[in-house]
């Protein structure tokens, strides 16, 4: 494999959830190029299955898309060292009010590997007990459960485009198809 060498990494901007850097890289042919790099502390998400086999989803406004989206509960790690399982359990409780008897890792995704190191561990939660949401001051989240078939149809219709949500639903559908 050909060698790439980072010569420098310069912070361009520090944000609330990410940092933007410009990297200077020597590529295999000897040329020196500038590449953008977004540093993210990581996140956790949770695909929660209710007692009827439906998947618990949240609808919330996403500024980057200027619209509401339908997605699985998720959130950033409080610190880079926070266990993702703990973050997933926290986000499930905060966004939906549910607590789970069982939480297991379903899959890990990297959202945009060309320029960002964001990693999201996605957990499967079962044995749900309803409770109250504990939303952040800037969160407005509606909660609703859907069948896997309903969500799959929404994915193929282009209504659900969020990568973590698509990956979670399709992985669950494939891995647990015998249980549906």
Active site residues: 137
Q: Does residue 37 sit in helix, strand or coil?
A: strand
Cβ neighbourhood burial of 114 (10 Å; 0-12, 13-18, 19+): exposed
Instruction: Compute CA 26 distance to the chain's CA centroid, rounded to the nearest angstrom.
Output: 32
d(CA 62, CA 59): 9
d(CA 175, CA 124): 11
- Measured in Å, how far apart are the chain's first and last C-alpha atoms? 44
Write a three-state SS string for 25-36.
EECCCCCEEEEE
Asked if 133 contacts 141 with a C-beta cutoff of 8 angstroms, the reply is yes
d(CA 87, CA 109): 16
């Amino acid at each position: 494999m050909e060698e790439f060498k980072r010569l420098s990494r310069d912070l361009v901007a520090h944000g609330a959830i990410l940092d933007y850097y410009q990297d200077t890289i020597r590529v295999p042919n000897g040329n020196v190029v500038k590449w953008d790099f977004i540093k993210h502390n990581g996140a956790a998400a949770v695909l929660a299955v209710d007692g009827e086999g439906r998947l618990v989803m949240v609808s919330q406004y996403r500024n980057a898309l200027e619209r509401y989206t339908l997605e699985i509960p998720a959130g950033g790690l409080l610190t880079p060292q926070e266990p993702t399982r703990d973050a997933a359990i926290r986000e499930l409780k905060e966004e939906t009010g549910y607590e789970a008897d069982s939480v297991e890792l379903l899959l890990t995704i990297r959202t945009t590997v060309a320029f960002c190191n964001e990693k999201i561990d996605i957990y499967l939660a079962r044995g749900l007990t309803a409770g109250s949401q504990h939303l952040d001051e800037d969160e407005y989240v509606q909660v609703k459960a859907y069948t896997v078939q309903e969500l799959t149809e929404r994915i193929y219709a282009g209504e659900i485009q969020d990568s973590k949500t698509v990956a979670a639903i399709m992985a669950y559908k494939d891995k647990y198809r015998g249980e549906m």
